[in-house]
Amino acid sequence: MKTMNPSRAKPLARFLSLSLLLTGGALSQTTVNSLQALMPYLDDNNANIKLAPGTYTIDAADVAAGDFGNPLLPFSGNNSTFDFTGVTLRIDTDVFTAFGNVGVNEIWITGNNNILKNLTMVDDGSVDDRPQRTALNLLMDGESNRVEGFHMTVKGSFPYAYGDAFGKGSGYVIKHFKHSACLIRGNSNHLKDCTIIHRAYGHGIFMQGANDALIEGCYVEGEMRSTDDMLAETSGPAYDVNFGTVWGYPLPPGYMMSLQEDGIRTYTRGTTLINGVWIENRNTADITVRDCTVKYMRSGLSLTLGSGFKEAEDCIVIGCENGYGLRGGSIVNCSGDATYGPVYSNAYDTDNNLNVDITVLPAIDPYYNGSQSVAYIGGRDHNITLRGLEAVVDQNLEVQIGGPRNFVRTMDSGYVATDIEINNLTAYPLVLGSSSSGCTGESAGNITDNGSNNSVVKINGNFGSFTPDPNKTYYIDNPHHNLRLAATGSSEDAYTTSTSTTGADVEWKFVDKGNGYWHLDRAAGGSTPRLRTDNSSNADMQSTSYSGSYTYYAFSPGVNTNTFFLTLPDAPANHRRLQIDSSGQVKMVPDSYDGTWESFTITEVSPPLVTMRKRNASGYGIDGNNGGSDGQNVYLWSHDPNNVNQQWEEIDRGGGYFSYQKRNTNFSLDGGNGGGNGQNLYLWTTSDNNYNQHWRKVHVSGSLYLLQKRNATGYSIDGGAGGASGQNVYLWSTNTGNRNQQWIIE
C-alpha cells in the first residue's frame, strides 16, 4: 500500500470536504435556455444551474453589442454547480480580436468550491485566425473548483505549423500570438476527465502559481509535422526568414516536431486571484497528475518547474517530441513511446534525486526519431527504471546517460551524469557518455561505456510475467524457429506451423488446475485437446480427463524479452519443459534446458465476440444498427446472437476496463463526455485512449455485469424499463441492484 506523504494529507482533505459539501445538501436545479439567461447566475453563490442542451454561439458581433465582455463567461460565485451536459459552445475566432490588443479568456473561474461539467467548447474558425495578443479557453483561479467532462477544440494562433522553431517568448525570430487551452492557478483546483484537441500554438494544460492542483483522467492531443515538410515550403513566414531558428542555426532536417507546446506543464511561479485578492509571484507547488494521456505534443508531462512534490502516476505519453520531464518528484507506473523522441529527458544538468519508472511502449507510428534517443538522463543521484514490452527493438535508438544531446532544439555537448542508478529493463542499447561517472545498475540491452568508474552489468532481458485469462484464446509461438504450436484435436501428436497460420488448430486456452498451475488445451476442443508429456521426449495430446501431474504448466521468463518457459513442475525430471527443436518437432525436455528452443511468446488471439442481453428483458440485446458512423445511435433489439449488429469485440484496455467495438467496423460504444442521467449511448470511431469508450465490468453474478463508465464512474449503461425493439440505451446513475443496468455478456 502506498504511504501518503504527510504534506499531502491536508490538500486531500480539502478535496474530500468539497465533495461532501457538493453532494450532502444538493440544491434544486434551475434550467436556463440561453447564454443571456445564464449570465446573471455566474456571480451567484449556492446556485445549481443547467443550460438547456443545444448549440450556442458567441462571435464578434455579440461582443460589439455588449452581450459579452472579456472574459466571455466569468464564474465568480461560490459553492455553485453549472451543468452543461448536451451543450456545445461555439466561439468564433473573430472574438480573439474584438477587444483590442489584449489577451482573451473564454472562461475564467475566480470563485471557490464550484463545479462546471460536461461542456463542449469549439473555437470556430481556422488554425491561422490569430489573436490580437493571446487567447485562452479556460482559466482557473480561486479555491477548490472542479472542471469535469469538458471537451475543448482549440484553434487560432500565429505562426502555426512550426512548433517553437521560431520562438516561444522573448527573442523570437517570428513574432508569435499564442493560444493555450487551460491555465490552472489558485488553490486545490481540479481538472478531471477533460479532453483537449489542440490545433493552436500553445500549451494544453499549464500551471502558474497553482498550489495543490490535481489533473486527473484528462486527454490532450496535438499534431506533428516533420522538419523536412517545413523545409519544403516555398513561401510563408518560415521561408521569409530563410528557416533560421530561434536556436541560432538553420532548421535541421530529419526531425518531427509538435505544432503545439507541452501537454501538461508546470512553471516556477505566477500571479493568481483568490478571494478577491491578487497574489503576485507565487510559487507553483505540490502538483499531482494522474491517469492522463498526452499525444502529439512537444512534451507530454513537463513537471520540471515549481516547488514541493510533483507526481505523475498512471499516465501515458505517445507520439510526443519528449515524453516526461521531472524535477523534485516521482514518475510512477507511467508509460510512453520513443516514436519521435525520448520517453524521458532531464531538463537541467542540476537535476538530482529523481525517482522515475516508465514502461517504453511500441511506436504509435513509424519511427521518425531524429535524436536517436529512447531516454536522455543527466544530473546526479537518480533512480531510473525503464521497462520494455518489445523483444526486438531498433538498435539505432539508445538509452543515453550523459553525453551530447542531439535534439532538434538542443544540439550541444550535453549534461554531466554522476552516481545514477539505471535499470534498463528494455532491449534498447545503453550508452554511458564520456561525461558519466559512478553510475550503477543493470541493462538488458547492450552496454557501451565511454565514461569513468561506471559499473552497469548486462542481464537477461526478460522481466515479463504471464497470468492466463481462461476466457481468452492465445497463440503460442517459438520466435527462434518462427513456428507456431498446433494440434488437430484428434491426433496424439502436436505439430508446428508458420506463425502466420490462423484458425482452430493454433488457438489455445489455459484451464485453471486450481493449484496455481494451468492445463494447456486446444481452444476448439476435440477428442484429444490437452497437451501433456507421456513420460517420453515427445509431447502428447490427450482428452481433458487427463489432469494429473503430467498435464499442468507453470510460466517463467524465457531467454528472450517477453518470452516464457512452459514447464510441468511435477512431471518426470527428464520431460518437464516444452520445446520445439530444429526440425520443428514438439518435445518435452529437462527443465535445465533454458535456451531459445524452449522460449515461447504467448499472444492473445483477436478479441472475443460477445453479445449483451438485458437481464430483465433477456429477449433484447444491445444493437448498433447497420454499419457504423460517428454518432450512430445504439438501442435494444430482439436478441439474435447471429445478428452482426449485436456482435461486439470485447477489447481489454487493462485495469478491468473494456471497449466494445461493433463487429466488422471501427466504431465502439461511446458514452460521450462526462456523465448524466439519460445521456445517450452511441457509436464513435474507436480510439484506444478514449475513456468515453472504456467500461469497467462490475460482476453481479454468473455472466451478469454492470458496465460502468471509466471517466464517470457514477454512471453505467442502462436499457430503461422493460424491453422493445428500438428502445434507447443511455447512461444512468450506477446502482448494482438496478436490473435495467445488468447485462448478460456471452
**Positive or negative, the Cα torsion across 230, 235, 236, 239?**
positive
Based on the fold, state whether residues 261 and 391 are members of the same structural domain: no
Under 8 Å CB-to-CB from 169, ≥6 apart: which residues? none
Host H or E run for residue 110: none
- pLDDT confidence of residue 91: 98
- Alpha-carbon gap, residue 645 to 624, rounded angstroms: 5
Based on the fold, state whether residues 318 and 350 are members of the same structural domain: no
Based on the fold, state whether residues 325 and 353 are members of the same structural domain: no
Provide the β-strand partners of residue 82: 49, 116
Provide the β-strand partners of residue 89: 56, 121
Host H or E run for residue 61: helix 60-64
Indicate whether 68 belongs to any domain: no
Place of cell 500549451: 203
Based on the fold, state whether residues 327 and 347 are members of the same structural domain: no
- Alpha-carbon gap, residue 395 to 384, rounded angstroms: 20
Vertex 536: Cα angle to 535 and 537 (nearest 5) = 135
Task: Indicate the residue among 459, 485, 508 that finishes a domain.
Answer: 459
Q: What is the three-class DSSP state of 521?
A: strand
CATH number assigned to the domain comprising residue 185: 2.160.20.10
Based on the fold, state whether residues 553 and 632 are members of the same structural domain: no
Q: What is the three-class DSSP state of 594?
A: coil
Indicate whether 435 belongs to any domain: yes
Which parts of the chain sit beneath pLDDT 50?
A: 1-25
What total of structural domains would you count in the chain?
A: 4
Task: Indicate the residue among 589, 604, 619 that finishes a domain.
Answer: 604
- pLDDT confidence of residue 17: 35
- For residues 606-629, one letter each, b for 16 or more C-beta atoms within 10 angstroms of the residue's C-beta and e for the rest, the string is ebbebbbbbbebeebbbbbbeebe
- Tell me the C-alpha to C-alpha distance, in Å, between residue 150 and each of 48, 117, 153, 182: 18, 6, 10, 11
- pLDDT confidence of residue 98: 97
Of 453, 488, 457, 568, give the one whose Cα is nearest residue 520. 568
Indicate whether 140 belongs to any domain: yes
Indicate whether 71 belongs to any domain: no
Based on the fold, state whether residues 503 and 354 are members of the same structural domain: no
Provide the β-strand partners of residue 474: 508, 604
Based on the fold, state whether residues 199 and 239 are members of the same structural domain: yes
**Do the strands 440-443 and 410-415 form a parallel or antiparallel pair, or are they unpaired?**
unpaired
DSSP conformation class of 251: P
Host H or E run for residue 375: strand 373-377
Based on the fold, state whether residues 168 and 42 are members of the same structural domain: yes
CA 553 to chain centre: 34
CATH number assigned to the domain comprising residue 592: 2.80.10.50
- Alpha-carbon gap, residue 613 to 641, rounded angstroms: 10
Of 121, 109, 105, give the one whose Cα is nearest residue 63. 105
| Cell digits of residue 426 | 528494455
| Cell digits of residue 612 | 449483451
Based on the fold, state whether residues 139 and 254 are members of the same structural domain: yes
Contact by Cβ (8 Å): 156, 133:
no
* Amino acid identity at 669: L
Contact by Cβ (8 Å): 677, 734:
no
- Alpha-carbon gap, residue 477 to 485, rounded angstroms: 6
Indicate whether 66 belongs to any domain: no
Strands (DSSP E) contained in 500-616 are 508-512, 518-522, 530-533, 539-542, 552-557, 564-567, 577-580, 586-589, 601-604, 609-610, 612-614
**Domain of 424?**
338-459
Strands (DSSP E) contained in 81-218 are 81-92, 104-109, 115-124, 135-140, 146-148, 151-155, 179-184, 190-192, 195-199, 205-207, 214-216
Contact by Cβ (8 Å): 363, 335:
no
Based on the fold, state whether residues 447 and 552 are members of the same structural domain: no
Indicate whether 464 belongs to any domain: no
Q: Return the C-alpha torsion angle 583, 587, 593, 595, nearest 10.
A: 40
Based on the fold, state whether residues 292 and 372 are members of the same structural domain: no
Indicate whether 657 belongs to any domain: yes
| Cell digits of residue 399 | 538509452
- Tell me the C-alpha to C-alpha distance, in Å, between residue 711 and each of 156, 176, 195, 294, 706: 29, 36, 11, 16, 15
Contacts 24+ apart (CB under 8 A), 432-435: 432/401, 432/402, 432/456, 433/400, 433/401, 433/402, 433/403, 433/404, 434/402, 434/403, 435/402, 435/403
- pLDDT confidence of residue 8: 30
| Cell digits of residue 144 | 477548490
Strands (DSSP E) contained in 438-507 are 440-443, 447-449, 455-458, 474-478, 483-486, 495-498
Based on the fold, state whether residues 320 and 351 are members of the same structural domain: no
Indicate whether 466 belongs to any domain: no
- SS3 readout for 595-615: CHHHCEEEEECCCCEECEEEC
Place of cell 448494482: 736
Of 124, 295, 287, give the one whose Cα is nearest residue 218. 295
Residue 274 neighbours by CB distance under 10 Å = 18
Task: Indicate the residue among 604, 627, 644 that finishes a domain.
Answer: 604
Contact by Cβ (8 Å): 533, 571:
yes
- Alpha-carbon gap, residue 604 to 651, rounded angstroms: 11
506 φ/ψ sector (left φ>0, alpha ψ -120 to 50, else beta): alpha
- Tell me the C-alpha to C-alpha distance, in Å, between residue 226 and each of 128, 223, 263, 370, 405: 19, 11, 19, 10, 19
Under 8 Å CB-to-CB from 629, ≥6 apart: which residues? 667, 683
**Do the strands 430-432 and 410-415 form a parallel or antiparallel pair, or are they unpaired?**
unpaired
| Cell digits of residue 253 | 532536417
